[in-house]
Amino acid sequence: MRAGQGRERPLTVHDLNQLLLVCSLVLLVAVAAVRISSRSGLPSLLVYLGIGVLMGQDGIGGIRFDDAELTQVIGYAALVVILAEGGLGTKWKEIKPALPAATVLALAGVAVSVGVTATAAHYLVGLEWRQALIIGAVVSSTDAAAVFSVLRKIRLPARVTGTLEAESGFNDAPVVIMVVAFSHHGPIEHWYVLLGEIALELAIGAAIGIAVGWLGAWGLRHVALPASGLYPIAVMAIAVTAYAAGAMAHGSGFLAVYLASMVMGNAKLPHWPATRGFADGLGWIAQIGMFVLLGLLVTPHELGDDILPALVIGLVLTMVARPLSVVVCLTPFRVVWREQALMSWAGLRGAVPIILATIPMVGGVEDSRRIFNIVFVLVVVYTLVQGPTLPWLGRKLNLGQEPEAADLGIESAPLERLRGHLLSFAIPEGSKMHGVEINELRLPAGAAVTLVVREGKSFVPLPTTVLRRGDELLVVATDPVRDAAERRLRAVGAGGKLAGWLGTNGTI
């Protein structure tokens, strides 16, 4: 084909300038809107969706956008970043006790939720079984970002947060497999074949994710990069590598990227606070871009006929399917009823269901646009209902706890030639390191506090120097004692000078 025939006009510098202006303004509006959502208790995803709808053909922007395939591709890329950021922030000590329960909830719980929701969609709404199963699978995945964005005002027991976080990281993988299977083949005649495929893809994804994460963490801990800003880039590149390798090996790329990120997130990598900040920023950009694009894809004037079906399906999902899956899966683990009640109500739907609703659209499934509209309305309405009430329910169930002492956020920089590490951190508000003398830190031999910065002035501390909140400390530690020194500092920050005697070991 000749240039210019049957081809759209190529992108020019002027077009690029306009695109950059629009994108930057959208990001600024979205960032400002986070403050509104944080005050109202609503997950920020609703704000981003609203921005996309306002920019769409029924809004003030008048932009006509109906490319479901492009939305799916960008959505998958955004989910990789979001899962990577979530994995990096997952603390192994919190999810380890809840791992068996969360795994059962992410697998058996999803199966129960899909069955109940699909049955309601078929008999109560009148959808064909194929469409009903697709909707049941699409809305059976929970979203950690949506849950914890409204629970940040209260501190929940570790078992509750660990279960919810691990479940949301694990259940994306089987749901994606089911949605793809239903969209391309319809109802599966031999369910054991589908179960076998899910088990195999999960096993491949888990193996690749753990292997890539371990190798990446080992490499970053033993190779001193020339600039600190390269560490966050390397970490995210390793996480994306895990996804791509898992997907190309016919495994679950989503599970691979989450596990790889979780392994690196618990490996005490150099320049860790900077890495977390970088990943957090990328996660926000991914969420904003993804939800604005989803808002553009929806056509509000077409939603009228799908509002009632969405409300009915969402009601069954929220009041029957989710509680039933929680009770069935968590009762054998002796989870008390108050925690089960909160986890039942905390089954918020966010990014994943709306992105997965584009799969049947790309696959040409009959009534796929209706499926997308139902899922969109369901996510918006029930997030509006559940989001603001989650903190209230947590307090009513007496599940809130007193906040722990803030973590020190120790940053480590390798000193390759000296075979040591430079640890730096600031003593936060609430830290029990306040009032502790330098010699009471009892750092291991080979580690020492070399500098204290207080109120903008730096000085070399004496053994009797008393530490205060807001002090910034530099600690030099040799390679053999680096981990022990970091554990001791965290222990004192959490338990004070008597941390060792009180049983606080500071492990992470």
- Other Cβ atoms closer than 10 A to 39: 8
The pLDDT tens digits for 284-333 are 888 888 888 888 888 888 888 889 999 999 999 999 999 999 999 999 99
Instruction: Flag whether 132 is in a domain.
Output: yes
Q: Using N-to-C axis directions, what is the helix angle for 191-222 and 230-248, rounded to 10°?
A: 150
- Give yes or no: residues 370 and 434 share one domain: no
In a domain, 440, yes or no: yes
- Is 2 among the domain residues? no
**Is 257 within 8 Å of 240 (Cβ atoms)?**
yes
Within-domain flag for 348: yes
Query: What are 451's strand-pairing partners?
Result: 474
Last residue of a domain, one of 373, 396, 419: 396
Cβ partners under 8 Å of residue 5, min gap 6 = none
Final residue belonging to a domain, choices 367, 396, 425: 396
Q: Quick check: 283 and 96 in contact, CB under 8 A?
A: no
Q: What is the pLDDT of residue 4?
A: 44
Q: Are residues 237 and 135 in the same domain?
A: yes
So what's the pLDDT on residue 1? 40
Q: Write the DSSP symbol of residue 503.
A: T
Report the predicted TM-score, pTM, of the whole model to 2 decimal places. Answer: 0.77
**For residue 403, is it within any domain?**
no
Output phi, psi for 457, to 5 deg: -115, 140
pLDDT at 214: 96
d(CA 98, CA 4): 59
Does 504 have pLDDT greater than 50?
A: no
Is residue 375 a part of any domain in this protein? Answer: yes
The answer to whether residues 211 and 360 belong to one domain is yes
Same-domain status, 188 and 124: yes
Task: Report strand pairing: 447-454 vs 472-478.
Answer: antiparallel
Reported as a single tens digit per residue, the pLDDT across 65-78 is 888 888 888 888 98
Do 241 and 384 share a domain, yes or no?
yes
CB 260 within 8 A of CB 87: yes
Tokens linked to 327: 């009770």
Q: Do 392 and 427 share a domain, yes or no? A: no
Rounded mean pLDDT, 82-86: 88
Other Cβ atoms less than 10 A from the Cβ of 419: the count is 10
Question: Could you say which DSSP state residue 321 is in?
Answer: I
Domain assignment present for 49: yes
Please answer whether residues 424 and 474 qualify as being in contact, where contact means their C-beta atoms are separated by less than 8 angstroms: yes
Do 62 and 181 belong to one domain? yes
**Residue 341: C-alpha distances to residues 4, 331, 332, 337 (Å):** 61, 12, 15, 6
- For the CA atoms of 45, 49, 52, 53, what is the dihedral angle to 10 degrees? -160
Confidence of residue 175 (pLDDT cuts 50, 70, 90): confident
Looking at the structure, tell me whether residues 387 and 462 fall in a common domain: no
- Residue 508 pLDDT exceeds 50: no
Mean pLDDT of 244-264: 92
* pLDDT over 70, % of the chain: 87
Taking CA atoms, 279 is separated from 17, 25, 81, 286, 437, in Å, by 27, 22, 8, 10, 35
Q: What is the pLDDT of residue 56?
A: 80
Distances (CA, A) of 399 to 10, 157, 324, 394: 57, 7, 21, 5
Do 416 and 385 sit in the same domain of this protein? no
In this model, does residue 239 exceed pLDDT 70?
Answer: yes
Distance from C-alpha of 481 to C-alpha of 479, rounded to nearest angstrom: 6
For residue 218, what are the contacts with CB-CB under 8 A and spacing of at least 6?
A: none
Greater model confidence, 138 or 91 = 138
- Please identify which residue in the block is written with the tokens 């990096």: 88
CATH number at residue 469: 3.30.70.1450
Answer whether residue 240 is part of any domain: yes
What average pLDDT does the chain have?
A: 83
CB 220 within 8 A of CB 260: no
CA atoms of 80 and 282, how far apart (whole Å): 11
Q: What is the rounded distance in angstroms from the CA atom of residue 105 to the CA atom of residue 171?
A: 8
Confidence of residue 150 (pLDDT cuts 50, 70, 90): low
Task: Give the phi and the psi of residue 474 in degrees, each rounded to 5.
Answer: -115, 125
Compute CA 483 distance to the chain's CA centroid, rounded to the nearest angstrom. Answer: 27
Is 185 found in the same domain as 72? yes
Q: Mean pLDDT throughout 199-228?
A: 89
Whether the CB-CB separation of 345 and 389 falls below 8 Å is answered with yes
Over 80: is that where the pLDDT of 194 sits? no
Average pLDDT over residues 28-55: 74
For residue 370, give the CATH number of its domain.
Answer: 1.20.1530.20
Are 150 and 292 contained in the same domain?
Answer: yes
Per residue, the 3-state secondary structure of 7-65, as one string, reads CCCCCCHHHHHHHHHHHHHHHHHHHHHHHHHHHHCCCHHHHHHHHHHHHECCCCCCECC
- Considering the domain architecture, whether residues 381 and 416 belong to the same structural domain is answered as no
For position 261, what pLDDT does the model report?
Answer: 94
Domain extent, residue 492, equals 411-502
- The mean per-residue pLDDT over the stretch 449-453 comes to 90
pLDDT tens digits for 346-402?
887 876 788 888 888 888 888 888 999 999 899 888 888 887 788 788 888 887 655
What DSSP line would sit under 433-446, residue for residue?
A: TTT-BGGGG-PPTT
Using N-to-C axis directions, what is the helix angle for 253-265 and 191-222, rounded to 10°?
30
**CA 427 to CA 430: how far, in whole Å?**
9
Boundary residue ending a domain (366, 396, 426)? 396
Count of structural domains, the chain: 2
How high is the pLDDT of residue 8? 60
